[in-house]
Amino acid sequence: MADVTAEQIRDRVRELAAAHDPATTDPVAFLGHRFDAGLAWVHFPEGCGGLGASRALQEVVERELAAAGAVPANPFRNPIGLGMGAPTVAVHGTDEHRARLLRPLWTGEEVWCQLFSEPGAGSDLAGLATRAVREGDDWVVNGQKVWTSFAHKARWAMLLARTDPDLPKHQGLTYFFLDMTLPGVEVRPLRQATGQAEFNEVFLTDVRIPDSMRADEVGKGWAVSNTTLMNERVAIGGAAAPREGGPVKPVAALWRDRPEVRTPGLHDRVVGAWVEAEVARLANERIRQQLAAGRPGPEGSAAKIAFAKINQDTTRLWLELAGEDGLAYDDWTMRRVDLGGSDGGRGPGYYYLRAKGNSIEGGTSEILRGVIADRVLELPREPRTDTKLPWKEIPR
């Protein structure tokens, strides 16, 4: 559909609601019907959950569905798939990939994870060592990945592996869509300071991936991974939030409800936290408007850095305002993270500990500052000695 109008979108939503009553249709089935109607991501191609329309029209879809009584799509049911997997498949996947992968990703029937970081390649992702060797129509993969959210639930993974160690590190990488049920894939939990096992380490031993599940060309993995990472930073740092939402919400509520904590010094800090959160919210609105016009750019890195700092500062303030109550911790028992929900209702101790990871996950704040310096401010790059050497010759 070329030049799709807002009225055409409204008509299509009405047709969907008339054919599949949101009040009586199974939620997963309704998501499937929504995908088939091209109303999952309207900017995606037809047949891939979209209409080839302007991304700005997605807001029309959400408003009309809400008016029809449909439950909003829950971003927590498959956060990595929705935030990073779908855009990567849409841009770099084949027609067969899009036809096979996007619908169950959208409905949440097939969860996704991201196999990028390794014990020796976190911030320097291009230095990764997981190897994929071509054998006929397959690639045999061996290596270890770490800090993998939802790997214990995932059916599919975005895998970045080294296919040519004789090339410089950024050039010898290839990107695959990995079926996590294949033989040789082992997932182990990693317990965090919060007591949760939110992340995993994943061991790949002689895993055979069909070449048909390769994204883009051999050796183009770094370019594909940048599509994933740019979308990841927007998904983490650029999420929509109402005024006084997110981490500043419990701080403001505690300040209002507990007069005894209102000291002059803390007043300035609470107001400062509220202002920073509001500035970040408005900046994220602008980023989403830019997204409506195209793919995410380096601005998402700034949103991710701001999110990490605000979340850490605000949870520290919340813990301080709560006084001795903030020292009590909810649950030290190791728990797996479930999909479809959040840890809303946990105390400040949990959020204070969990926020420590915000400046690491999705790209460390130090690396993202380098991205901003290079691609936004256009400052001179730092000298590097390892970008032109063959990967196998780089000391490790």
**CA-based max dimension of the chain:** 71
Q: What proportion of the chain, given as a percentage, has pLDDT over 90?
A: 55
What's the distance, CA 58 to chain centroid? 19
207-220 mean pLDDT: 98
Query: Domains, the chain, ranges and CATH?
Result: 6-107 (1.10.540.10), 112-220 (2.40.110.10), 225-376 (1.20.140.10)
User: What is the value of pTM for the model shown?
Assistant: 0.84
Q: Which residues, in sequence order, are CB contacts of 29 under 8 Å at separation 6+?
A: 20
Which helix H or strand E contains 277, and what residues bound it? helix 264-291
Query: 215-250: per-residue pLDDT in tens?
Result: 999 999 999 999 998 877 666 554 566 788 878 998
> Where is average pLDDT lowest: 138-152, 239-253, 330-344, 363-377?
330-344
Query: 79-107: per-residue pLDDT in tens?
Result: 999 999 999 999 999 999 999 999 999 99
Give the separation between CA 190 and CA 282, rounded to whole angstroms: 35
- Token pair of 364 as six digits: 């460390």
Give the separation between CA 75 and CA 341, rounded to whole angstroms: 9
Q: What does the pLDDT read at residue 334?
A: 66
Q: In the chain, where do the E strands start and end? A: 112-115, 131-135, 138-145, 156-162, 173-179, 185-190, 196-197, 199-210, 214-215, 335-336
Q: What does the pLDDT read at residue 330?
A: 67
